[in-house]
Amino acid sequence: MADQKAKDAMLEEIAKMQGPEGFDFVVICCSDQSAEDFWQARLTQTIRQVTGSNSIVICVHEDWNGGAGNGLGTLYAFVKACSKGKEMGVDLAHSMHDGMSVAIYHTAGKGTRLAPLPGAENNNKPGVKLPGLLSVAGRFEPITVLESVLRQTSSYGSVRGGRCSVFWGDQIFVPSCGIQKTDYPADILAALRPMPTKEQWESEALHQYGLIAVDSKGDAMQLEKVTYDTAVQYLPKDVAQVGTSLGSFSVSAALMDALLAEFAPELHDKKACLDSDPHFWMPLTLKKADYIAVMGKKAVSADEAGKHYDRMASFKNSFKKTGGILGCVDVGQQAYWWDYGRLELYMRNNFLITEANPSAHALRTFLRLQQPSLESDLSLRQQWNTLDGVTVDATSVVLNCRIGGGNIGPGCVLVNVVAPTIEVENCILVKVASSRPISGKGGLLYNVVEDSKGDMLLCDRVRADVFMPDGIHHKIYSTPSTDGGKVWKEKVEGNNYSFEGIYKANQPLDVSKCTKEANAAHDAVGNKVMPVSALTNIFMSMYSCCAMR
């Protein structure tokens, strides 16, 4: 009974993520102007489908030499969003002071460990696709990782009026202790627990994580990756709980104003690189000697660390003379956590939706592939398909596919696939158009177009296709266990380019133009193999109209 109650509570949290409440303003911090334009257009169409709320979307990009770090990067994104907001007829800062909620999502990064998928999105890492459907420009498109993060975090909007929340763009979690409100000027998300013993600390490898400690008053302290003995040395005597940090934080309107004023010189000159944990929260919560010692392990001199500590101490004294600045918002020890930041995890969490366990049920519900209260109902695992003579295993998820025959075996996930016939088992196919029959076991085909002559398109390893203007089409191969970050500069699996080579080739390109190029290639092969029926087009038009309301 207790287990069922806990599962029901988690499903209730997922229901809150579907709307109607959400953030009043959603700010996306992109890597360049091309990505900014892409996401402004995309999210303007999908934000209500994704979150159930009519958030105002403001996309910006970080034009800062060498990178600002996520601390200064957050402040700079807010400044740019305020400026762009005025062009759109809204006053972001004034609205936040009036009690409206703001969320900033950081999407920068190469996504090396997820390669080759970000390359197939032309370096648009947050655009990596997941199994779920949205209506975009009159066609069904897979939901992206970023849109999934927007859905998941939207439930925090209802308790964060007058605050700016900051999230990262590649991890999805469901808190097991509800959505909690805080009155601290700043708060950070963490999975809290009682202080572990030394044996627990070492067996759970807690030294590998950034940690948050909370004292008996509720004040939080930011800890770097430290051993148990070092943690005990730094922690207050009345420590009540510690937990692994998720990194995501929020600040009040007043603290945002104060931080903008304090770092105005850096924001004006677009110089320096400051991260939130080591440069904001640690100097605001640690003792000076402890802070200098921690930063020394990061190769920061005692003089430099001491000066920054003194600066933040002066800032703290000016902003809030008594009481703590940083609090902690608990997500619970039993939180579901679905990470898509590494290729192996991407495949594992996509395979998860074909399984029968509470986490799989929750993830299917989150992606709208499952009725929350009807665990045995499999009807939503197949949506908008034309599957003439195709046998589909009950465990598999098949969305918006047109296939002429064959067998989709157990443990498969297919989204936007067109093929004459298919024979697959434990495979993931996301946006694939092939004039050849598809066959395989245990592989991943991503953004693949195959129109060459041959017997079979095999799905027994990883393949991701990259489309560029002027008809350039690269086929990039890998394996499910390959960590792209470790082989970033190498040409693996017989590829003509390394993952880094594809990244560099993508850098000057316009994401929107490349997306159109890819869609045209998919449509050309897909319509040749099995054209979309007139009836499907009518239903699609009706669905699109409803989705945009």
Per-residue model confidence as pLDDT tens digits over 109-167: 899 999 999 999 999 999 999 999 999 999 999 999 999 999 999 999 999 999 999 99
Contact yes or no for 334/342 (Cβ under 8 A): no
162 inside domain: no
- Provide the percentage of residues in the chain whose pLDDT is more than 90: 83
516 inside domain: yes
What angle do helix axes 69-87 and 253-262 make, rounded to 10 degrees?
Answer: 110
Q: Which of left, alpha, beta for 280 (phi over 0: left; psi -120 to 50: alpha)?
A: alpha
Closest of 232, 253, 249, 259 to residue 327, by C-alpha: 249
Residue 4, pLDDT score? 84
Question: Which secondary-structure segment (H or E) carries 134?
Answer: strand 129-136
461 inside domain: yes
First to last CA, the chain: 40
pLDDT-derived band at 548, boundaries 50, 70, 90? very low
Q: How far, in Å, CA of 301 to CA of 281, rounded?
A: 19
CA atoms 117, 191, 73, 254: torsion sign? positive
Q: What is the dihedral of CA 294, 295, 301, 307, to 10 degrees?
A: -110
Higher pLDDT, 65 or 485: 485
449 inside domain: yes
pLDDT-derived band at 198, boundaries 50, 70, 90? very high
What is the pLDDT averaged over residues 355-366? 95
84 inside domain: no
What confidence tens digit (pLDDT) does each residue in 435-472 have? 999 999 999 999 999 998 889 999 999 999 999 999 99
Angle at 492 between CA 489 and CA 495, to 5 degrees: 100
Amino acid identity for residue 7 in this structure: K
Q: How far, in Å, CA of 328 to CA of 271, rounded?
A: 30
Task: Determine phi and psi for 247, rounding to 5 degrees.
Answer: 85, -30
Q: What tokens appear for 51 in the block?
A: 């979150």
pTM of the model: 0.95
Number of structural domains found in the chain: 1
Residue 142 C-alpha from the chain's centroid:
14
Is a pLDDT exceeding 70 seen at residue 543? no
Contact yes or no for 468/514 (Cβ under 8 A): yes
535 inside domain: yes
Closest of 474, 472, 412 to residue 439, by C-alpha: 412
DSSP assignment of 178-223, as one string?
------SSEEEEEEEEEPPPHHHHHHTTGGGS-EEEEETTS-EEEE
Residue 1, pLDDT score? 39
Angle at 187 between CA 185 and CA 193, to 5 degrees: 140
Q: What tokens appear for 527 in the block?
A: 């319509």
395 inside domain: yes
Q: What integer best gives the mean pLDDT of the chain?
A: 94
What is the pLDDT averaged over residues 291-316? 95
Is a pLDDT exceeding 60 seen at residue 477? yes
Q: What is the span of the domain harbouring residue 433?
A: 378-548
Contacts with 519 (C-beta within 8 Å, 6 or more apart), sequence order:
none
Question: Which secondary-structure segment (H or E) carries 464?
Answer: strand 462-468
Beta-bridged to residue 336, according to DSSP, are 174
Closest of 400, 347, 457, 351 to residue 116, by C-alpha: 347
420 inside domain: yes
